[in-house]
Amino acid sequence: MVEFKTLSIVVPMYNEHRSIHLILDVLREVDLIQGIRKEIIVVDDCSTDQSAARVEAYAHQYPALELRLFKHQSNQGKGAALHTGIREATGDYVIIQDADLEYDPQEYNLLLTPVLRGFADVVYGSRFMGGNPHRILFFWHSIGNNLLTFLSNICADLNLTDMETCYKLFRRDIIQGLQLEEKRFGFEPEVTAKVARVPGVRIYEVGISYYGRTYAEGKKIGWRDGVRAIYCILKYGLLKR
């Protein structure tokens, strides 16, 4: 078994005042296996609503919770918020958690298991494998996800089923050792291409649940982000080797 003391949970946030306290409730209540400690890092990407104030109030309400808030002075994008959170992480491993309710932190233990058993350095949570609940939404989004994962796999020589997933768990020294550039949704293909080239890295994938949102419910990613993702797959997978 791998000795593992702290998990850093990086939460990029932009205009999530309606749901941020709900995800923090789940993060506060989740029990990690082997008594692993939680370090929660919320990065506010210059929200125009009360998101940051809600996180500050939450930290004041639960002082025992290891919760830190970082604020961007201008809106830079999800990738930039992740760069800040990853840089500030101090745990043994780092996991990414969106500020909405599409992914369930109660499933962190699924991703932690191959790490604790000594098999994995990086674990992706796939929305498209296993028998966990998966909300049925947009046909063309599923086609887009499959295409992006397929192209990413070709360039990175991997066999992932879900490259675009939010749930990515990294050994901290690995993720902090990457030179990450993409400031928006290009983070996913970039980090996949670069982590695949880390010498000796062991990448695993486990099935997770997915409670997706519609655009009316706050979903932000669009077709332009898909085009950018293809560009990033080619840029970091083929050109920047």
Secondary structure letter of residue 31 according to DSSP: P
Q: Are 81 and 98 in contact (CB under 8 A)?
A: no
Strand order in the sheet with 67-71: 67-71, 37-44, 6-13, 93-96, 168-171, 122-126, 203-207
Q: Mean pLDDT lowest for which of 27-31, 166-170, 203-207, 225-229?
A: 225-229
How far apart are alpha carbons 118 and 131 in whole angstroms? 24
CA nearest neighbour of 28 among 39, 42, 12? 39
How far apart are alpha carbons 174 and 160 in whole angstroms? 19
Q: What is the pLDDT of residues 167-223, one digit of tens each?
A: 999 999 999 999 999 998 899 999 999 999 999 999 999 999 988 655 454 455 665
How far apart are alpha carbons 14 and 51 in whole angstroms? 7
